[in-house]
Structure 1
Amino acid sequence: MEARISTERHVQRQQKLKEQVDTRIAAAIEKKGILIVFTGNGKGKSTAAFGTVTRAVGHGKTVGVAQYIKGQWDNGEYNLLQPLGVEFHIMGTGFT
């Protein structure tokens, strides 16, 4: 019996908390973005970055990419994502 009452009280408290959070979210007027920088030695940075970009685009988010490419070659990521509205800023040589 006590466990049921305790569970009910917990559910009621959580519902009240959720209502407070929902009210604050509804009142929010400032839009915020996020900047993610992938750096480090070794492999995996581009894979992680473009996986994150793809997920964000899939959720309808606005995405921009600043990519440092060594040399001039066809960029498959650009070819795929640019038509979907991803803004690219390709940086060339001279950054290392």
Structure 2
Amino acid sequence: MSETERNARHAVRMARKKALIDAAIDAASDEHGLLIVITGNGKGKSTSAFGTMARALGHGMKVGVVQFIKSRTDTGEEAFFGRQPGVEWHVTGDGFTW
């Protein structure tokens, strides 16, 4: 089987899969919130959270942030997202340590 044929078969399979997923989304009637907790060592947690927030806001959803941090400092992310409609921002744990 040539690469072109493989790509065509793959496209057909993905179109069928997309149709099933789209039908399930159309049939869904529950609307509910989603809580995402991002923890762990190393880098990437804030980047992941802010990217997820931007995508949700882009789709017209409301978002909320609760930050548990050791010391309170103003951040550019808080300043930017705080100006966006549909964003609620809370910083807690001032002086909090593990």
**Interval containing the TM-score (normalised by the shorter chain):** 0.5 to 0.7
Query: How does 1:49-68 map onto structure 2 within 5 Å?
Result: 49-68=49-68
Q: Distance in 1 between matches of 2:40 and 2:80?
A: 25
Identify the structure with the greater helix proportion: 1
Supply the distance in 2 between the matched residues of 1:35 and 1:48 (Cα, whole angstroms).
Answer: 14
Query: 2:51 and 2:26 mapped to 1: Cα distance?
Result: 30
Structure 1 residues 28 and 48, CA, compared in 2 at 3 Å: closer, same or farther? closer
Aligned to 2:48: 48
Which runs of 4 or more aligned residues in structure 1 lie more than 6 Å from their structure 2 counterparts after TM superposition?
none
Partner of 2:11: none
The 10-residue stretch of structure 1 (68-77 or 56-65) with the greater mean CA deviation from structure 2? 68-77
Residue by residue, what CA displacement relative to the aligned partner does 1:5-36 show, whole Å, maximum 9, x if unpaired? xxxxxxxxx6xxx69x75x7566543111111
Q: Which runs of 5+ in 2 are unaligned?
A: 1-15
In 2, Cα distance between equivalents of 1:60 and 1:68: 26
**Residues 70 and 97 of structure 2 are in contact (CA less than 8 Å); yes or no, is this contact kept in structure 1?**
no
Kindly name which structure, 1 or 2, has the bigger radius of gyration based on alpha carbons. Answer: 1
TM score, norm. by length of structure 1? 0.66
- What TM-score does the superposition give when structure 2 sets the normalisation length? 0.65
- Look up the equivalent residue of 2:95 and give its one-letter code: T
**Matches of residues 1-96 of structure 1 in structure 2 within 5 Å?**
22=23, 28-84=28-84, 85-91=86-92, 92-96=94-98
Aligned Cα root-mean-square deviation (Å)? 2.8
Shift of residue 49 of structure 1? 0.7
Q: How many residues align?
A: 83
Q: Percent identity?
A: 49
Q: Give the gaps of 5 or more residues in structure 1.
A: 1-13
What's the secondary structure of 1:42's corresponding residue? coil
SS of the equivalent of 1:67 reads: strand
Cα distance in structure 2, aligned partners of 1:80 and 1:33: 23
